[in-house]
Structure 1
Amino acid sequence: MMNPNQVLWEKGDFTRLAETMRESGAALVARLNITKGLKVLDVGCGDGTTAIPAAKSGAQVVGVDIARNLVEAGNRRAQSEGLTNCTFQQGDATDLSELKDQTFDLVISIFGAMFALKPLEVAKELVRVTRPGGRIVMGNWIPGDPTLVAQILRISSSYTPPPPEGFISPMLWGVENQVIERFEQAGIPKENIAFERATYTFQAPFPPDEFLARFKNYYGPTMNAFEAAAKNGKEQELQRELEELFASQNQSNTGNSTSIPATYLQVTVHR
């Protein structure tokens, strides 16, 4: 039976959203002080929004994602950029057994590993593959945050059936005491974990209604929400709610472009 997380992220085509994330992905990587030859692992890498800028900084980069279509897209991007120091492979953040212990100087996961199904296993695996003295950097959406992605996920969940028993919300990766508890169980003392609120801006050369269409047609959680809403005769209600959200959050000064900032929790763990 296929991993339900794999089903979710292979359902759509996240590359269509990732196109709006390139600028902020590169800016985030630039803040990580990546130097030539650094060994970097990007977990839940998608098609390389952070992995490719890291490779352009001179790092030796491995990207891991659960979705086969995104791994293929990432390898195509790396090849087209002539980046022989960046490879993508399929894998699950809860089980990185194909990667050796203490291999990487920097392990990053930006809105990726937070969606894996077993958070304690995720923390243990991220720590295991990081060398002593290395860093883990996560970017995680924050529950209840008023900005875009947290609100999309909140609205979407209100139209979908309740999750199965034992399901742990991915949004708990945006709660500091939950993050501390998980990494402590993976052997990291609390004082080695730091937090900051940061902003990720989605930029698109088209209006908010077209940006919403990309979420509707290509983003697994939103696709599921629209399917469930249609069965209950609530598709138009969901559409209106999301249209209002996207329009209200757009900060672009022109009618034919979109610029929407979203707040996230940046977690830095020192191994």
Structure 2
Amino acid sequence: MMNPNKALWEKGDFTRIAESMRGSGSALVAALGITKGARVLDLGCGDGTTAIPAARLGADVLGVDIASNLVAAGRQRAKALSLNNCEFREGDAADLSSLPDQSFDMVVSIFGAMFASRPQDVARELVRVTRPGGKIVMGNWIPGDPTLVAQILKISSAYTPPPPEGFVSPMLWGVESHVTERFGSAGVAKEDITFEKETFHFDIDCTPAAFVDRFRTYYGPTMNAFEAAGKNGKEDQLRRELELLFASENRSASADTTFIPATYLKVTVTRR
């Protein structure tokens, strides 16, 4: 049986959403202090929104993602850019057993590992593969936040069946106490974890309504919400809610383009 998380992220084509995330991905990486020759792991890398900018800074980058279609897309992007220092590989953030202990100077996961199952295992693996003196940097969406992504997930959840028993919401990675507890169980002291709220921007040359259509067609969680809503005759209602959200959050000067800020929790862990 296929891993449900793998099925979710292979269901659509996240590259069509990631096109709107390139600018913020590059800006985020530029602020990490990555140096030439550094060994960087990008976990839940998608098609390289942060892996490719890190490689362009001269790091030796390994991008790992559970979705085979996104790994293939990342390889294609790296090849087109002649980035021989950027490798993409399929894998699960909760089980990195193919990677040696303490093998990376920095581990980055921007809206990636937060969606993996077994969060305690994810925290343990993040710590295990980071060398002493290295850093782990996560970007995680925040539950209940009034900005775009948390609201997409909140609206969508109202139309989908309740999750199975034992399900742990990925949004708990956006709660400081849960992050501290998870890394604490992996041996990280509280004082070695810092938190900042930062802003990511979705920037794309289409109307907010057309951007909603991209989520409906290509983003696994939204695809599932529309399928469930359709069974109850509420597909149009869900679309209206999302279109209203995207339009109200749009900060573009033009109604024909979309520029939407979204707040996230940036987590930085220093490995001792």
2:143 aligns to what? 143
2:16 aligns to what? 16
Q: Displacement, 1:256?
A: 1.1
Q: Which amino acid aligns with 1:254?
A: S
Deviations 1:228-265 (A, max 9, x none): 00001111110111010000000000121000000000
1:261 aligns to what? 261
Q: Displacement, 1:38?
A: 0.4
Q: Secondary structure at the match of 1:146?
A: coil
Q: Displacement, 1:111?
A: 0.2
Q: Tell me how far apart the structure 2 counterparts of residues 228 and 255 of structure 1 sit (CA, whole Å).
A: 30
Q: Secondary structure at the match of 2:255?
A: coil
1:209 matched to 2:193? The reply is: no
Q: Which amino acid aligns with 2:115?
A: F
Q: TM-score, normalised by structure 2?
A: 0.99
2:132 aligns to what? 132
Q: Tell me how far apart the structure 2 counterparts of residues 158 and 142 of structure 1 sit (CA, whole Å).
A: 18
Q: Which amino acid aligns with 2:221?
A: P
1:55 aligns to what? 55
2:41 aligns to what? 41
2:101 aligns to what? 101
1:29 aligns to what? 29
1:84 matched to 2:88? The reply is: no
Q: Tell me how far apart the structure 2 counterparts of residues 186 and 6 of structure 1 sit (CA, whole Å).
A: 25
Q: Tell me how far apart the structure 2 counterparts of residues 213 and 266 of structure 1 sit (CA, whole Å).
A: 28
Show structure 1 runs of 4+ deviating over 6 A: none
Q: Which amino acid aligns with 2:56?
A: K
Q: Secondary structure at the match of 1:20?
A: helix
Tell me, which stretches of 5 or more residues in structure 1 are unaligned? none
1:110 aligns to what? 110
RMSD: 0.4
Q: Tell me how far apart the structure 1 counterparts of residues 193 and 72 of structure 2 sit (CA, whole Å).
A: 33
Q: Tell me how far apart the structure 2 counterparts of residues 224 and 35 of structure 1 sit (CA, whole Å).
A: 40
Q: Secondary structure at the match of 1:149?
A: helix
1:225 aligns to what? 225
Q: TM-score, normalised by structure 1?
A: 1.00
The number of equivalent residue pairs is: 271
1:172 aligns to what? 172
Q: Which amino acid aligns with 1:41?
A: L
2:158 aligns to what? 158
Q: Tell me how far apart the structure 2 counterparts of residues 213 and 105 of structure 1 sit (CA, whole Å).
A: 39
Q: Displacement, 1:181?
A: 0.0
Q: Which amino acid aligns with 2:166?
A: G
Q: Tell me how far apart the structure 2 counterparts of residues 235 and 69 of structure 1 sit (CA, whole Å).
A: 27
Q: Tell me how far apart the structure 2 counterparts of residues 95 and 248 of structure 1 sit (CA, whole Å).
A: 40
